[in-house]
Amino acid sequence: MKKIECSNELRHKAEEIRYDIISMIAEAGSGHPGGTLSAADIGTVLFFNEMNYDPANPQWEGRDRFILSKGHVAPLFYTLLAHAGFFNRSELMTLRKYKSRLQGHPVSYMLPGVEVSTGSLGQGLSIASGIALACKMDKKFYRVFTLLGDGELQEGQIWEAAMFAAYRKLDNLCAIVDRNHLQIDGNTEDVLALEPLQAKWNAFGWHTIMINGHNISAILDAFREFNEVVNKPTLIIAKTVKGKGVSFMEDQAGWHGKAPKDDEVIQALSEIKARMDA
């Protein structure tokens, strides 16, 4: 994978990703734009600067592994994979259609680049921890990344996995929390409060990093810090805005799981395109 080193180029790539996300969800007539858009900058840096992989050889043994724990933001994952060269971008417009490889949640046997099928919230960290431990036991040197939604941190299995990963000193494991504060039922702190979030993960034995999840430079620095950590798994708490990049979707829980209407699509794509052309 040829890495994008320039922050400005990464920002532009993130807007291209957002443009395709809105287009494919609109074409499908269903999907989850809010949390997909909020994680676009994180995903862009991860796939186009940080991770090692080979689209021509998706099962390359030395590849870094990515687990999308919050599987409902599959449009982000699919768009990243398409832009990275795992399949043609035109296939993005088949999202959620009959017999499409791009279903509402990622299916591992259908699409190259998808390590495991996900969608049942709370399971991704356990899967990632197991893969990271297997890497250590096999004396391999790849890394494991997993993207979590903040709402799914209310699942008990997350905290079992957090204990396990710290106990096993899985310093090849990096979890990223898309901390947009909103889930389908509203604000996370009103549904089941997560704060003080960073202090909790510190107490569980993780190395934690708090960043602005839309600041490309901060995201780059966070991954550099992760690569220097020894004997601890790393958690990056990325403070984000749900629906980031589309004005009428931003910080609105109602855009968790619905597609925009025709006039909304025009406005959303216009806003994104303006930033791409700036």
pLDDT digit string, tens, across residues 145-192? 999 999 999 999 999 999 999 999 999 999 999 999 999 999 999 999
Query: How far is it, in rounded angstroms, from Cα 263 to Cα 26?
Result: 11
Of the CA atoms within 13 Å of residue 89, those in its CB half-sphere come to 10
Residue 234, strand partner residues: 174, 207
**Whether the Cβ atoms of residue 140 and residue 131 lie closer than 8 Å to each other:** no
Q: Which helix (H) or strand (E) holds 236?
A: strand 234-239
pLDDT digit string, tens, across residues 116-141? 999 999 999 999 999 999 999 999 99
Query: How far is it, in rounded angstroms, from Cα 276 to Cα 18?
Result: 10
Tallying the residues shown for the chain, one arrives at 278
**Whether the Cβ atoms of residue 179 and residue 213 lie closer than 8 Å to each other:** yes
Name which of 69, 205, 179, 62 is nearest 127 in CA terms.
Answer: 69
Q: What percent of the chain has pLDDT over 70?
A: 100
pLDDT at 274: 98
Q: In sequence order, what DSSP letters do the residues of 60-115 get, joined into one string?
A: -TTPPEEEESSGGGHHHHHHHHHHHTSS-GGGGGGTT-TT-S--SS--TTTSTT--
Residue 32, strand partner residues: none
- Looking at domain 7-277, its CATH architecture is 3-Layer(aba) Sandwich (3.40)
Residue 1 pLDDT greater than 90, yes or no: no
The predicted model gives 85-101 an average pLDDT of: 97
Hey, is 234 helix, strand or coil? strand
Residue 106 pLDDT greater than 90, yes or no: yes
Could you tell me the pLDDT band of residue 278, with boundaries at 50, 70 and 90? Answer: confident
Could you tell me the pLDDT band of residue 273, with boundaries at 50, 70 and 90? Answer: very high
Mean pLDDT, rounded, of the chain: 97
**CA angle, 64 as apex, 167 and 10 as ends, to 5°?**
115
pLDDT at 2: 74
pLDDT digit string, tens, across residues 208-222? 999 999 999 999 999
**Whether the Cβ atoms of residue 188 and residue 181 lie closer than 8 Å to each other:** yes
**CA angle, 217 as apex, 230 and 142 as ends, to 5°?**
35
